[in-house]
Structure 1
Amino acid sequence: MTNTGLLKRLSKMLTEDLEDIEDERVQRECREASAQHATGVQPARECTRGAHAVMIGELRSVETCSRNSHTGVRAEFFDGTDTVILKWMGRNRIPGIEPGRRITVRGRVANADGMKVVYNPEYELHSTDE
């Protein structure tokens, strides 16, 4: 006799897109972190242009930008619901801002080139144990 629940989960794992599985993992972990850390945290998909947002998520990529004497750090933030670009102007490196790191960000949401962007956000690094 087989366990139908186990077979369904196994079948889902074998047929589901790995990116979808990763998105669900990030979303679940960010929801749990939101419940533990702060009130007023919202999913990135609910953030709108001009609104002040508080979000918890992971940094997917981090790069240093230097164009026309403008320097800055650009990071792709993801919470399982949407991607937000974080831009710190005038910096060429920020200790702790690295791919895979979970952070809480606070700032005003803007739109640039069809993407949600937060310029010079306040941030809180989460411990690597979380």
Structure 2
Amino acid sequence: MSTDPQVGPRADAEQRRGLVRRALRRLASSNAELQDEDRQRVVREAGAMPISTCGDRQLVDLCGDVATVTINPHGGKPALEVELRDGSGSVTLVWLGRRKIPGIEPGRNIRVAGRLSCSANGHRVLFNPRYELL
């Protein structure tokens, strides 16, 4: 334990500077940047992986917000496609043979797990992932 009387006030002043710095940064940021920061905070708190750090054929555990939900046929069969965003990037989730999954809708926060596929242009896809509605 330190007996230096300046440790307490110095730490308080540093904490105030940090609060002011964060407040100024939030004032200067766009709404999209602030939403991305909030999504990334949720990912960290959930213990999930940021999408931007995931590579091809990697087993992933992701968490984020559903941005879009569409039905696209693959080989004449229905396929539910969902765009998941976590503030660092996005991934397309594809459930083959499904037209709808109750609870999966735009704005919903979900957690998914599976093996990631990346195309040559960097587009990330996760086929038939396990999911949890949050």
TM-score (norm. length: structure 2): 0.76
Percentage of matched positions with identical amino acids:
36
- 1:72-107: per-residue Cα shift (whole Å, max 9, x none)? 111111122221111111111111111111111111
* Residue 27 of structure 1, CA deviation: 0.6
Gap change, CA 1:54 and 1:10, over 3 Å in 2: closer
Q: Which of 114, 119, 124 is equivalent to 2:127? A: 119
Name whichever structure is richer in strand by fraction: 1
Partner residue, 2:38: 25
Partner residue, 2:10: none
Superposition pairs for residues 30-45 of structure 1, below 5 Å? 30-34=43-47, 41-45=48-52
CA RMSD of aligned residues (A): 2.2
- 1:14-33: per-residue Cα shift (whole Å, max 9, x none)? 32121111100111122112
Report SS of the residue matched to 2:62: strand
Report SS of the residue matched to 2:88: coil
- Measured in 1, the distance between the counterparts of 2:114 and 2:84 equals 13
> Contact conserved, 2:43 with 2:49, CA < 8 A, in 1?
no
- 1:28-77: per-residue Cα shift (whole Å, max 9, x none)? 1221122xxxxxx3221221101111111111111122366231111111
Report SS of the residue matched to 1:42: coil
How many pairs were matched up? Answer: 118
Report SS of the residue matched to 1:66: coil
* Residue 8 of structure 1, CA deviation: 4.7
Partner residue, 1:37: none
Report SS of the residue matched to 2:103: coil
The structure with the larger Rg is: 2
Report SS of the residue matched to 2:46: helix
> Is there any run of 5+ residues in structure 1 with no aligned partner, and where?
35-40
For 1:122, the aligned partner's letter is R
Q: Which moved more, 1:97-106 or 1:67-76?
A: 67-76
Report SS of the residue matched to 2:104: coil
- Measured in 1, the distance between the counterparts of 2:52 and 2:118 equals 13
Partner residue, 2:6: none
